[in-house]
Structure 1
Amino acid sequence: MAQEATANEQKKFKVPRIPGDIMIYPMIVGLLLNTFCPQVFEIGGFFTAACRGGSNVIVAAILLFVGAGISFKSTPGAIKTGIVVLIPKLVVAAALGLGVAYFFNDNFLGLSSVSIIGGITFCNMALYTGIMGEFGDESEQGAVGILFFTAGPAVTMIILGVSGLANIPIGTIIGSILPLVIGMVLG
Structure 2
Amino acid sequence: MYNFMRKFPGGLLLVPMLLSAIFYTFSPELFRIGGMTQAMFTTDGLNYVIGLTCFCSGAGLNVHRIGKVLKKQGVLLLTKTIICVIASIIFIQLFGQAGIWGISTVAFIASICSTNPSLYLALEDEMGTPDDVSAFGLVGLLCVPAYPMLIFGLSQETAIDWMPIISTLVPILLGMLVGNLDENMAKFLAPGVSVLTPFMGWSFGASINLIEAVQSGLQGVIITIMFYVLMVPILLMVETKFVKTDGISSLAISSIAGMSVSVPFIISQTNPAIEPFVASATAQIAFGVVLSSIITPFLAKKLDIHNHLDISETHDF
Under a length normalisation based on structure 2, what TM-score does the superposition of the two structures give? 0.45
1:181 aligns with 2:181: no
1:88 aligns with 2:79: yes
The Cα of 1:18 is off from its aligned counterpart by: 3.4
Say which structure, 1 or 2, has more relative contact order (CA 8 Å, 6+ apart): 2
Contact kept, 8 Å, 2:89 with 2:156, in 1: the verdict is no
Compared CA separation, residues 37 and 148, structure 1 to 2 (3 A): closer
Matched positions, count: 167
SS in structure 2 of the partner of residue 73 of structure 1: coil
Counterpart residue type for residue 91 of structure 1? I
Give 1 or 2 for the bigger CA radius of gyration.
1
1:114 aligns with 2:106: yes
Compared CA separation, residues 108 and 31, structure 1 to 2 (3 A): closer
Counterpart-to-counterpart distance in 1, 2:114 and 2:151? 13
Contact kept, 8 Å, 2:85 with 2:154, in 1: the verdict is no
Unaligned runs of 5+ in 1: 1-13
Q: Which residue of 2 aligns with 1:7?
A: none
Counterpart-to-counterpart distance in 1, 2:148 and 2:30? 37
The Cα of 1:65 is off from its aligned counterpart by: 2.3
The Cα of 1:29 is off from its aligned counterpart by: 5.2
Structure-to-structure mapping, 1:46-85, within 5 angstroms: 49-52=39-42, 53-85=44-76
Deviations 1:57-94 (A, max 9, x none): 11221112223444333221112222121111111112
1:129 aligns with 2:121: yes
Deviations 1:25-59 (A, max 9, x none): 223455688869749995x4xx8645441222112
Q: Which residue of 2 aligns with 1:3?
A: none
Q: Which residue of 2 aligns with 1:15?
A: 4
Contact kept, 8 Å, 1:100 with 1:113, in 2: the verdict is yes
Compared CA separation, residues 41 and 129, structure 1 to 2 (3 A): farther
Counterpart residue type for residue 56 of structure 1? N
Counterpart-to-counterpart distance in 2, 1:103 and 1:147? 30
Q: Which residue of 2 aligns with 1:10?
A: none
Identity of aligned residues (%): 22
- Over the aligned positions, Cα root-mean-square deviation in angstroms equals 3.1
The Cα of 1:139 is off from its aligned counterpart by: 2.3
The Cα of 1:99 is off from its aligned counterpart by: 0.8
Compared CA separation, residues 31 and 41, structure 1 to 2 (3 A): farther
Counterpart-to-counterpart distance in 1, 2:32 and 2:155? 46
Contact kept, 8 Å, 2:91 with 2:105, in 1: the verdict is yes
Q: Which residue of 2 aligns with 1:101?
A: 92
